[in-house]
């Protein structure tokens, strides 16, 4: 019944099936929405956060989705600035993934702050020395950029595009897209870095603190690199997941492998520096503040296995897999490496967020542990559900995949 709205020349499932799917996702969304309203009403006392863990699942979630959403700016940068033409096959998807990740992260942030009504104080009373100010500025600005990048895609919807004004608008926006891609790349690099900087400047948290270059601690650069090392491959994973779900080919494997190569290259650079950084931190910085490597870990919940999983299993291993053409060109291996890569970066964000503040710095203090409660999971789940909804609608009605017609002939 909604066939008239489909992109030109592609097949979609029946409306009933689609409605069922959307209903299923909406249930999750509504549950999260309930948790969110409860949080706005009662405050974040309903979460599992506490005096020791002011940051928890939400911040980890934010950092992770922002890193994973980095495919948008980096692919945009490569396509529009470095003119790698092949990437146009997947560029729309990166924009949508990026948009979902960033808008979702902003929503989580408004929940996460104790005074959501004052969320705009970040602009009104900015502290130029705070990495978080930079994050607030760049994330909101970049989210606007992503909207600008997303809008022409919406306007290209078959029926909307028939309206001459919208058609022209979309066209004009497309023409200037390189400009936005450039702005996006600039903004995104900075806030990815600033997110790392947020932790690197914590002089009171030996797990996170790093020295650095000029005003930027090393974590600034490591976060940028790790984001571009996982963002592109995350888009590939999303694409492949959609292909499995819909049973249709959406992007050719060559493009996916190229994205894998891009991510792999960046991940390799990243992991090289990450290992160097960790080595220097453990052998130089920690002793200088009287602490040892062993003191940074505790039991199973904050054990060393986490760091080894992050750096070796989910860092070094996927990096090697992705830069080795023979491995990368095997679809199963590519996706496996991609999954490991994304887990590694997410784990990195988790460790910097949670482990860093779980460590008792005062010698007479003790380890505290943190587990998110239902309200945090539900709201995080809401963002995922929101992403599924946006993606489902976009897939069904918008011309996201230029190759789809050709690949499914």
* Binding positions for other proteins, rule: CB under 8 A: 43-45, 49-52, 54-55, 112-115, 117-122, 124-127, 129-133, 135-136, 163-165, 168-169, 172, 198, 201-206, 286-292, 295, 356-357, 361-365, 368
Residue 118 CB, shortest distance to other proteins, in Å, is 4
Report the residue number, 30 or 175, with the smaller CB distance to other proteins.
175
Residue 196 CB, shortest distance to other proteins, in Å, is 14
Q: Which bin fits 366, alpha (ψ -120 to 50), beta or left (φ > 0)?
A: beta
Give the list of residues 6+ apart from residue 386 with CB closer than 8 angstroms, or none.
29, 100, 104, 107
Residue 121 CB, shortest distance to other proteins, in Å, is 4
CB atoms within 10 A of CB 204: 10
CA gap 272, 339 in Å, rounded? 19
Residue 374 CB, shortest distance to other proteins, in Å, is 17
Residues 90/74, Cβ–Cβ less than 8 Å = no
Residues 352/220, Cβ–Cβ less than 8 Å = no
Residue 370 CB, shortest distance to other proteins, in Å, is 9
CA torsion, points 335, 339, 341, 347, in degrees to nearest 10? Answer: 180
The continuous run of DSSP H or E covering 202 comes out as none
CA gap 99, 188 in Å, rounded? 12
Report the residue number, 128 or 300, with the smaller CB distance to other proteins.
128
Tokens of 44: 């974040």
Helix orientation angle between 57-68 and 177-200, rounded to the nearest 10 degrees: 140
Report the residue number, 166 or 337, with the smaller CB distance to other proteins.
166
Report the residue number, 52 or 253, with the smaller CB distance to other proteins.
52
Report the residue number, 158 or 205, with the smaller CB distance to other proteins.
205
Report the residue number, 133 or 265, with the smaller CB distance to other proteins.
133
Grouping H, G, I as helix, E, B as strand and the rest as coil, residue 385 is helix
CB atoms within 10 A of CB 39: 21
List of E strands, 215-302: 216-217
Residue 169 CB, shortest distance to other proteins, in Å, is 6
Residue 262 CB, shortest distance to other proteins, in Å, is 33
Report the residue number, 118 or 254, with the smaller CB distance to other proteins.
118
């Amino acid at each position: 019944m909604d066939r008239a709205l489909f992109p030109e020349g592609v097949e979609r499932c029946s409306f009933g099936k689609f409605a069922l799917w959307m209903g299923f996702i909406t249930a999750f969304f509504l549950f999260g929405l309930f948790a969110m309203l409860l949080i706005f009403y009662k405050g974040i006392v309903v979460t599992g956060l506490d005096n020791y863990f002011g940051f928890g699942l939400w911040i980890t979630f934010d950092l992770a989705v922002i890193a994973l959403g980095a495919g948008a700016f980096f692919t945009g940068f490569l396509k529009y600035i470095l003119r790698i033409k092949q990437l146009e096959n997947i560029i729309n998807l990166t924009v949508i993934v990026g948009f979902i990740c960033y808008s979702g992260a902003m929503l989580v942030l408004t929940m996460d702050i104790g005074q959501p009504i004052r969320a705009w104080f970040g602009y009104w009373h900015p502290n130029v020395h705070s990495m978080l100010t930079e994050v607030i500025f760049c994330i909101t600005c970049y989210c606007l950029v992503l909207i600008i990048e997303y809008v022409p895609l919406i306007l290209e919807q078959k029926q909307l595009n028939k309206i001459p004004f919208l058609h022209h608008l979309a066209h004009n926006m497309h023409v200037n897209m390189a400009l936005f891609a450039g702005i996006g790349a600039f903004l995104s690099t900075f806030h990815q870095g600033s997110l790392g900087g947020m932790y690197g400047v914590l002089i009171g948290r030996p797990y996170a603190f790093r020295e650095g270059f000029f005003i930027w601690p090393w974590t600034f650069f490591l976060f940028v690199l790790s984001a571009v090392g996982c963002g592109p491959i995350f888009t590939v994973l999303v694409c492949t997941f959609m292909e499995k779900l819909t049973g249709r080919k959406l992007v050719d494997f060559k493009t996916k492998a190229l994205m894998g190569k891009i991510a792999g290259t960046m991940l390799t650079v990243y992991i090289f520096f990450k290992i160097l950084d960790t080595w220097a931190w453990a052998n130089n910085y920690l002793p200088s503040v009287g602490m040892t490597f062993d003191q940074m870990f505790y039991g199973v919940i904050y054990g060393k296995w986490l760091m080894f999983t992050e750096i070796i299993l989910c860092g070094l291993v996927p990096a090697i897999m992705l830069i080795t053409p023979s491995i990368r060109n095997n679809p199963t291996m590519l996706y496996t490496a991609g999954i490991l890569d994304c887990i590694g970066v997410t784990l990195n964000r988790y460790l910097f967020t949670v482990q860093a503040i779980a460590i008792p710095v005062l010698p007479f203090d003790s380890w505290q542990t943190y587990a998110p409660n239902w309200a945090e999971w539900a709201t995080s789940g809401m963002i995922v559900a929101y992403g599924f909804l946006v993606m489902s609608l976009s897939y069904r009605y918008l011309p996201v995949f230029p190759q789809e017609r050709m690949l499914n002939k």
